[in-house]
């Protein structure tokens, strides 16, 4: 039986596509039946590919994300995904406000899946440098390893 994970950030062009890519990469090797996607709470970038710096850091780590396109969270996501993982507290609050009464998805923060970092935000690298995107990649990759193990155990 497959499980499904949706990563959510603000615009779906930086953090959440990198988290999606990192978990896909982890799952390809060990848990191929996990469905992974990403979305944003905002609609500014709908239809656009990930930020070029996000694409570059993913490519440096052997993952092509150029085919991904930003989308906004839909009410149906709360039915279609087992787990919806926000990249920061503001997006988690926005998801909680959007969540329908009969939703099946479990909500959490990405860093809730990293020892010693529960409740923390993944910093948004959008206004930063390539180094900020490298830091984001390292953080989402660590979390992806933990999430894959958590999903496999559960």
d(CA 130, CA 101): 40
d(CA 81, CA 128): 31
For residues 109 and 88, is the Cβ–Cβ distance under 8 A? yes
Give 71-135 as a 3 state SS string: CECCCCHHHHCCEEEECCHHHHHHHHHHCCCCCCCEEEEHHHHCCCCCCCCCCCCCCCCHHHHHH
Q: Which helix (H) or strand (E) holds 130?
A: helix 130-153
Q: How many CA atoms lie within 13 A of 55 on its CB side?
A: 12
- The residues carrying an active-site annotation are 9, 15, 124
């Amino acid at each position: 039986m497959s499980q499904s994970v949706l990563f959510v950030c603000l615009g779906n062009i930086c953090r959440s596509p990198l988290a999606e890519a990192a978990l896909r990469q982890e799952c390809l090797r060990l848990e191929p039946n996990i469905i992974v996607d990403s979305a944003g709470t905002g609609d500014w970038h709908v239809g656009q590919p990930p930020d070029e710096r996000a694409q570059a850091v993913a490519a440096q780590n052997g993952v092509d994300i150029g085919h991904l396109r930003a989308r906004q969270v839909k009410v149906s996501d709360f039915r279609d995904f087992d787990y919806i993982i926000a990249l920061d507290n503001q997006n988690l609050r926005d998801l909680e406000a959007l969540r329908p009464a009969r939703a099946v998805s479990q909500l959490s923060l990405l860093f809730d899946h990293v020892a010693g970092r529960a409740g923390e935000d993944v910093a948004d690298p959008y206004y930063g440098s390539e180094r900020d995107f490298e830091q984001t990649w390292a953080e989402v990759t660590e979390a992806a390893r933990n999430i894959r193990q958590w999903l496999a155990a559960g």
